[in-house]
Copies of this chain bind each other. A is one copy, B any other.
Amino acid sequence: MSILVVGSVAFDSVETPHGRVDHVLGGAATYFALAASYFTDVRVIGVVGEDFSAENEAVLTRRGVETLGLEHVAGKSFHWTGSYVNNLNEAQTLKTELNVFETFAPKIPTAYEDSDFLFLANIDPVLQANVRRQMHNVKMVCGDTMNYWIHDHRANLDKVLSGLDTLLINDGEAKMLAGEGNLLRAARKVLSTGPKTLVIKHGEYGATAFFSERSFVNGNGEAGIAAVPFRAPALPLDEVVDPTGAGDSFAGGFFGYLASQPQVDLAAFKRAMFYGGVMGSFAVEKFGTERLQQLNREEIDLRFSRFREMSHLD
């Protein structure tokens, strides 16, 4: 099955305790596409400027990623400058230069219209909803968002949430979205806004999928939505060289694996959670997308086995 991803393709300038890189290829759609490319066909929709070279594009195409929907326009590409020097677990944004991304209006090439799966990376919910509407025939839609959209564009975001099969966010975002500090109660609230599954990423502690179950009855006899949890581990790593893109790589591994399966059932979902963690763990081992460019399915499955060994009783 093929995945269509819409999101940012960008350049990142990043400083971490391990060093710094300047203007390396990044962006949510890039990390997602590379990670997912080890499992299934991926098609990208994004926008880049004149500074985006043939070699930059080849990073995607060498992995078989379709870039027909990567629009080239006059101006500079989105450029993010950030630092993890003080805290490896949270990026400090030093500069956001939206450039050509500021007027991004996703256009879906005809050749993309038969995509089976849709991933809405973290962009303006108005654009997410727009793409979602045009791709109304897809089998499954997964989306991401961030605190800015949750806080300042809630009405627009709500329209996106109601059309999602799976929402993939982190702890802080889930709690903010629900206005609720307890993770389980937050998950229930988020699930009541539309998504059938909520995947919450906990960084170095792994991730939890909450599956909605509408038969749930609470202590007061009221019907509600149960959030049945499944927890996937993260691999304790010697060195986190560059955390940039870890969440998007998780999403790529998760959704890429799901799209590769003949049936999207609970068992496939659980394995997808593990593959998400696996791809996230690879992404942070080197700066930028370097590690994600050089993998093969054998080492991915080897690490999957380590995740299983690390979390299973037998």
Hey, which bits of chain A sit against chain B, CB under 8 A? 88, 181-185, 187, 202, 204-206, 208, 210, 227, 229-233, 235-240, 267, 270-271, 274, 308, 310-314
Contacts and interface: CB of A to CB of B under 8 A. Distances in A.
A181 B235 CA distance: 16
A122 B146 CA distance: 41
Contacts of A183: 204, 236
Contact of A267 (B181, B187, B271, B313): B313
Contacts of A230: 310-311
B267 A314 contact: yes
A57 B17 CA distance: 53
B182 A274 contact: no
B310 A312 contact: no
A184 B313 contact: no
24 contacts: A182-B237, A183-B236, A184-B236, A184-B238, A185-B238, A202-B205, A205-B205, A205-B206, A206-B231, A208-B236, A210-B236, A227-B236, A229-B235, A229-B236, A229-B310, A230-B310, A231-B233, A231-B311, A232-B311, A271-B313, A308-B313, A311-B311, A311-B312, A312-B313
A310 B313 CA distance: 12
**Copies of this chain, how many?**
2
Which 4 A-B residue pairs are closest in the complex by CB-CB distance? A205-B205, A184-B236, A231-B233, A229-B236
Nearest to A233: B231
Given A184-B236, A231-B233, A313 B208 contact: no
A100 to B, nearest CB: 37
Contact of A88 (B181, B208, B233, B311): B181
Residue with the highest number of chain B CB atoms closer than 10 Å, among A181, A238, A239: A238
A65 to B, nearest CB: 28
Contact of A238 (B182, B233, B238): B182
Nearest to A235: B229
Nearest to A238: B184
Given A205-B205, A231-B206, A187 B236 contact: yes
Contacts of A311: 230-233, 311-312
A270 B232 CA distance: 16
Contacts of A182: 237-240
A108 to B, nearest CB: 35
Nearest to A227: B236
Nearest to A200: B236
Contacts of A232: 311
A313 B230 CA distance: 9
A285 B314 CA distance: 29
Given A184-B238, A187-B236, A205-B205, A274 B229 contact: no
A89 to B, nearest CB: 10
Nearest to A87: B181
